[in-house]
């Protein structure tokens, strides 16, 4: 079978796998994006009672392989089945899809906390003072001045993190999930044709290319002062 | 009688950084239409004192009263944080380094406080901002970003931003010190106009001519204490203290 024939025959399977990959990485990154800002503030400005646990969590996640984390949650939850059943959580943990999603959220949150911490530290101190000087409440201060700067600074690094997460989501195939790589492995096992992996690589490449393009558009929206013609 | 028109009252302001006490109990009262210049050599505590007035530097001890809003400071903490926010709304602040919000356009900088602090409507805030920017001579630059402006223009935007809050008094922290010499004039001119229309202003400055000619009162800080205070004509022609005499002789 030549590569084109393989694609013609298996493209629905590829698309299904691609969709699962988009869901796992996309929802994972978005959930992490909701959790990270608050935790980054705690990590930076919180009382040690709160900031130290966040530091430990970030160090643990960054210091261990994601595959190990996935196994810990997927196989580990089986060990605690009686407890989880008692707590009504077993129906969540028995699904490999949920375990993978949880792993990605936990992992990406840790990285995003660290990236945002850098962004928060880079916010110009004078602009924060100016906001305080007009009497802004802390909430407005974060919403109107601190986070717009922090995200602009952190944006390229956050994009990097999402790309890494897309690729890391291939680990889900190890725990029986038919994401893009999972489907590919299935196709390969039927055809023994290496071009199965070539198409998978191209699809990952296309996915990240779309993301990079969109990320760049968003960066321009986020930083009007650098892109809008206003300079004389 | 004059006490009733007092806009800003600061009492017993103390500030320590670690073991070093940089402000040793300073009192200041600004009445409506006063233009008070605070002078002093580097390290005298003049900027720290000005920043204490709106609690950007939290006083270790003291009391600040701005037009009905009062905050007590004890053990390096304000008694009421919300009161600090209200106090700041009543005091405009112009910084040495302008500190415009670089991610917002000129007019957005001026509209920000009225909308997000005072809760004004967008349309009203925009009209007011246009009016104020027109007054400081920047109506052509409204949609630019701060990075596209000269230092003098940025400082005039900063003044417009302070005015948009309709403050009871405006604090200036060395507003011309970061400017190229040829740009100082345009900022002083705006400040002059504000003074002549009766704005209450408290200014830390090195512009001796401005302090002498425009201000109604001068305060000279030396080593964290007020060494001399009075009317500028008297102080500049016939200083009471040797430290102030030496200080002004350095500028001539």
How far is Cα B101 from Cα B218, in angstroms, rounded to an integer?
A: 32
**Whose structure tokens read 């109604």?**
B216
Is B155 at the interface with chain A, CB within 8 A? no
H-only helix segments in chain B: 46-53, 81-90, 106-116, 122-135, 151-164, 181-196, 208-214, 232-237, 242-249
Cα nearest neighbour of A139 on chain B: B116
**With a CB-CB cutoff of 8 Å, which residues 75-94 of chain A face chain B?**
none
ipTM reported for the complex, 2 dp: 0.93
Is A220 at the interface with chain B, CB within 8 A? no
Q: Which of A133, A153, A219, A222 to probe the B interface (max B CBs under 10 A)? A: A133
Residues A132, A141: contact at Cβ < 8 Å?
yes
The phi and psi torsions of B171 (rounded to 5 degrees) equal -100, 135
A189: number of Cβ within 10 Å = 9
pLDDT in tens, chain A (232 residues): 788 999 999 999 999 999 999 999 999 999 999 999 999 999 999 999 999 999 999 999 999 999 999 999 999 998 888 888 888 889 899 899 999 999 999 999 999 999 999 999 999 999 999 999 999 999 999 999 999 999 999 999 999 999 999 999 999 999 999 999 999 999 999 999 999 999 999 999 999 999 999 999 999 988 888 876 544 3
- Please state which CATH class domain A3-229 belongs to: mainly alpha
Is B85 at the interface with chain A, CB within 8 A? yes
Q: What local confidence, expressed as pLDDT, does residue B55 receive?
A: 94
- Boundaries of every domain in chain A: 3-229
Q: What is the DSSP string of B23-54?
A: EEEEEEEEETT-EEEEE--TTSSHHHHHHHHT
How far is Cα A69 from Cα A66, in angstroms, rounded to an integer?
A: 5
Chain A neighbors of B148, CB-CB under 8 A: 230-232
How far is Cα B192 from Cα B148, in angstroms, rounded to an integer?
A: 25
């Amino acid at each position: 079978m030549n590569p084109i024939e393989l694609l013609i025959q298996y493209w629905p399977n590829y698309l299904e796998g691609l969709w699962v990959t988009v869901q796992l990485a996309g929802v994972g990154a978005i959930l992490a994006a909701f959790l990270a800002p608050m935790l980054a503030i705690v990590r930076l400005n919180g009382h040690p009672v709160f900031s130290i646990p966040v530091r430990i969590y970030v160090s643990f996640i960054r210091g261990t392989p994601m595959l190990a984390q996935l196994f810990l949650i997927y196989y580990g939850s089986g060990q605690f089945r009686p407890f989880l059943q008692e707590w009504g959580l077993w129906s969540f943990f028995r699904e490999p899809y949920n375990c993978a999603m949880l792993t990605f959220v936990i992992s990406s949150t840790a990285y995003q906390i660290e990236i945002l911490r850098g962004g928060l530290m880079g916010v110009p101190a004078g602009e924060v003072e100016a906001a305080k000087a007009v009497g802004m409440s802390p909430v407005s201060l974060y919403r109107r001045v601190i986070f717009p700067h922090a995200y602009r600074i952190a944006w390229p690094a956050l994009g990097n993190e999402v790309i890494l997460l897309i690729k890391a989501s291939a680990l889900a195939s190890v725990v029986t999930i038919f994401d893009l790589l999972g489907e590919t492995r299935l196709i390969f096992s039927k055809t023994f044709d290496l071009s199965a992996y070539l198409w998978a690589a191209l699809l990952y490449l296309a996915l990240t290319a779309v993301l990079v393009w969109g990320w760049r558009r968003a960066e321009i929206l986020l930083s009007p002062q650098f892109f809008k013609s206003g300079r004389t | 009688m004059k006490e009733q028109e007092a806009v800003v009252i600061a009492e017993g302001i103390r500030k320590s950084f670690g073991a070093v006490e940089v402000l040793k109990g300073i009192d200041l009262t600004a009445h409506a239409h006063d233009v008070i210049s605070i002078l002093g050599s580097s390290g005298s505590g003049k900027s720290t004192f000005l920043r204490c007035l709106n609690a950007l530097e939290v006083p270790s001890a003291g009391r600040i009263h701005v037009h009905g809003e009062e905050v007590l400071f004890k053990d390096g903490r304000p008694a009421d944080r919300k009161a600090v926010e209200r106090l700041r709304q009543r005091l405009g602040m112009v910084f040495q380094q302008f500190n415009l919000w670089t991610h917002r356009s000129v007019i957005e900088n001026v509209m920000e406080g009225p909308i997000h602090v005072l809760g004004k409507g967008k349309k009203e805030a925009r009209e007011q901002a246009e009016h104020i920017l027109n007054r400081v001579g920047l109506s052509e630059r409204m949609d630019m970003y701060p990075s596209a402006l000269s230092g003098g223009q940025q400082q005039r935007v900063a003044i417009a931003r302070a005015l948009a809050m309709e403050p009871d008094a405006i604090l200036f922290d060395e507003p011309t010190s970061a400017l190229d010499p040829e740009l100082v004039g345009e900022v002083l001119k705006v400040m002059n106009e504000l003074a002549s229309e009766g704005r209450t202003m408290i200014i830390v400055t090195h512009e001796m001519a401005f302090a002498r000619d425009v201000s109604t009162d001068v305060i000279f800080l030396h080593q964290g204490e007020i060494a001399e205070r009075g009317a500028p004509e008297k102080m500049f022609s016939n200083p009471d203290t040797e430290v102030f005499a030496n200080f002004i002789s350095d500028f001539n």
